[in-house]
Amino acid sequence: MKKYNLIIIGAGPAGLTASIYVSRFGIKHLVIGSFIEGRMAEANEVGNFPTEGEIGGKELIKKMEKNTKDFGAEIALDEVTKISKNKNNFLIKTMVGKEYFTKTLLLAIGAERKKLDIPGEKEFLGKGVSYCATCDGKLFTNKIVALVGGSSAAATTADYLADLAEKVYLIHSEGKLKADKIWQEKVKKNPKIEIILDNKIGELKGKNFLKAAILEKNHQEKKELKLDGVFVEMGIVPNLEIIDELGTEKDENGFIRIKKDGSTNIRGVWAAGDITDGSNNFRQIITACAEGAIAAQSIFSYLKQSQ
């Protein structure tokens, strides 16, 4: 059975960045990820990463993977099925039957966007469907789009898209928006935003690209909305299934609470990226990278002190 000073669970931007840092610190570690991409792959273009102009999400994560491997990291494309505390170590079991011991853990397994779960959603991902307006919004300049959601995040996203698009439909399943009052007033006053309440998109249609959304109920005597894009802003769900047994403290939305150094309430366990309540809940690629780097430095100090 292999033993490590650190195992990083998750091969997205937080996990890979942490790996680069701990490699430079000389820490023997392993990165375990079921695949190297995560939610970054959903971004057709990333236009706000400091080293790039505009780049596809898949291309950017591949660059991170290359840099991680160039620093000598060991990456296992596998899925963790169980984590348990074993005296002062942690025992990791994986889908392919591997077992590892580690002194410390970094949880960087990310979160998933809530999906519409309707016909056409998967088919038009990157071809009209997006879960990241800050990533893909510019692609829809002077076009007609819909934004699904009713929270403050949805309202701010609709306002952002209205600066780019010709028209924005803000669609929410309930009878009123959940957004803060100031944001409700702002979107209601925006002439480019049309709010559709108590309704849902039931299907997305098009050929090579999205061309229309079919509503479940009539809106202005019709169910079909002609549009070029649909942005989904219904929140995200943390991937916590494999770590519940650890007893990490979570906030009211299920995200792992971390201290300013990325550590959790469990000694020897850190967390970084979209799974945490850190970075003012501004879940971006760059904040995931930052949390991964901060956690790596903290883990290095912890291991050094425990020698």
What's the pTM? 0.77
Q: At what angle do helices 181-189 and 152-162 cross, to 10 degrees?
A: 30
pLDDT tens per residue across span 88-103: 899 999 999 999 999 9
Matching CATH number, 2-113+236-305, of 3.30.1330.10, 3.50.50.60, 3.10.310.40, 3.40.109.10: 3.50.50.60
Q: DSSP assignment, residue 132?
A: -
Q: Which one is predicted more confidently, 20 or 241?
A: 20
Q: Is 130 helix (H, G, I), strand (E, B) or coil?
A: strand
pLDDT tens per residue across span 54-73: 888 889 989 999 999 999 99
**pLDDT, average across residues 168-191:** 95
Phi/psi of residue 119, each to 5°? -60, 135
Matching CATH number, 129-232, of 3.40.630.30, 2.60.40.420, 3.50.50.60, 3.20.20.70: 3.50.50.60
pLDDT at 113: 83
pLDDT tens per residue across span 266-285: 999 999 999 999 999 888 89
- CA 187/CA 162 separation, integer angstroms: 9
In contact, 229 and 127? CB cutoff 8 Å = no
Residue 157 belongs to what H/E stretch? helix 152-162
Q: Is 187 helix (H, G, I), strand (E, B) or coil?
A: helix
pLDDT band at 42 (very low <50, low <70, confident <90, very high): low
What residues does each domain of the chain span? 2-113+236-305, 129-232
**pLDDT, average across residues 224-251:** 90
**pLDDT, average across residues 125-142:** 91
- CA 269/CA 189 separation, integer angstroms: 47
Residues contacting 158, CB < 8 A, separation 6+: 147, 168, 170, 187, 190, 193
- CA 20/CA 67 separation, integer angstroms: 7
